Amino acid sequence: MDALPARAATLRAFNRFYTRKIGVPGDTLLSTRFSLTESRLLWELAQAPKGSPGLTATALVRNLQLDAGYLSRLLASLRERGLVKARRAAHDGRQTLLSLTAAGARAFASLDKRSQEQASALLAALPEAQQQQLMLATGQLQTLLGDTAREPPRLRALRSGDLGWVVSRHGALYAQEYGFDVHFEALVARIAADFIDQFDAQREAAWIAERAGTPLGCVFIVRSRHERTGKPLPGVAQLRLLLVEPAARGQGLGKLLTAECERFAVAAGYQRIKLWTNSVLLAARGIYQAAGYRLLSSEAHTKFGGTQVGEVWEKQLSR
């Protein structure tokens, strides 16, 4: 890729900027007597579960991705300073278990407090909207680079700011991946506004899927309404605005969101769920088909700037 060297340079520039911002290039971290690596080592030892006998040097090498000899020298220094203790494992005398001493725990608590204060000061300098933007960006970095990829996503209810994200991501992704124009984004905005204006907590719901605070997807379940009169159709729910971020695809998230809609619909007393989609959305169609939806009808349209085939799918619900 011709763009790869330039992108790598941009990423390196960001690394230099951020490490300067938090004072990493200095000999010590946060005006303490600890280097960055020593601080991270104390953090790893402090995260051991309560009551745990400690961590092995092998585990620390794996977690910190350090050379074993370098780690050994760091541990020796921390032990000499009375911050780390070592003892033989009861189950295997060949293994040494490492843990913080009382002094080490106090040193870590002070270091952790300073780090929290530094991060809080960085955030406090930004208005609320920019703080939320920063949280989203950091979460996306973690997800894309794999640090949190093994954590299961969690579903939560909507909160302030989520509808803007839903509209924005639908508009951006569908334009990028399917060539939909701004009329699609306008449609999503109307659906989102109607959800708030007509909301019935007993019959309607919406969820955001997130990991490490980063939104990964969304889905809405609402009362299905007559196309012309707008009146609710008895016993019929409608699944709307299913979206999964590209970085989170292939992990079963679409299936999880769809299943949550069905669970809610059954509990709310609906007899069936319907949805409208487009034939070009192959991944979404696969999710619906696997979940037991069947295609009822299809019709060509030009609502979003090009010729598409709209489809109506439906699933009968069993209690």
CA dihedral 51, 54, 59, 60 (to 10 degrees): 120
The pairing of beta strand 214-225 with beta strand 232-244: antiparallel
Q: What is the mean pLDDT of residues 39-60?
A: 80
Do 173 and 155 meet the contact criterion of CB atoms below 8 Å apart? no
**Quick count: other Cβ atoms within 10 Å of Cβ 283?**
11
State how far the alpha carbon of 231 is from the alpha carbons of 223, 234, 236, in Å: 9, 9, 12
pLDDT tens per residue, range 123-163: 899 887 788 778 777 777 776 776 555 577 889 999 988 99
Among positive and negative, which fits the CA dihedral 22, 26, 31, 32?
A: positive
Task: Enumerate residues 6+ apart whose C-beta is below 8 A from 259.
Answer: 291
Tell me the pLDDT band of 92, cut-offs 50, 70 and 90.
low
Q: What share of the chain is helix, strand, coil (3-state, %, to 5)?
A: 45, 25, 30
Name the residue with higher pLDDT: 120 or 221.
Answer: 221
Given a cut of 60, is residue 192 above it in pLDDT? yes
Residue 212 DSSP SS3: coil
pTM of the predicted model as reported, rounded to 2 decimal places: 0.63
Residue 240 CA: distances (Å) to CA of 65, 93, 107, 273: 44, 59, 52, 10
314 pLDDT exceeds 70? yes
Q: Which of 107-111, 120-124, 220-224 has the highest mean pLDDT?
A: 220-224
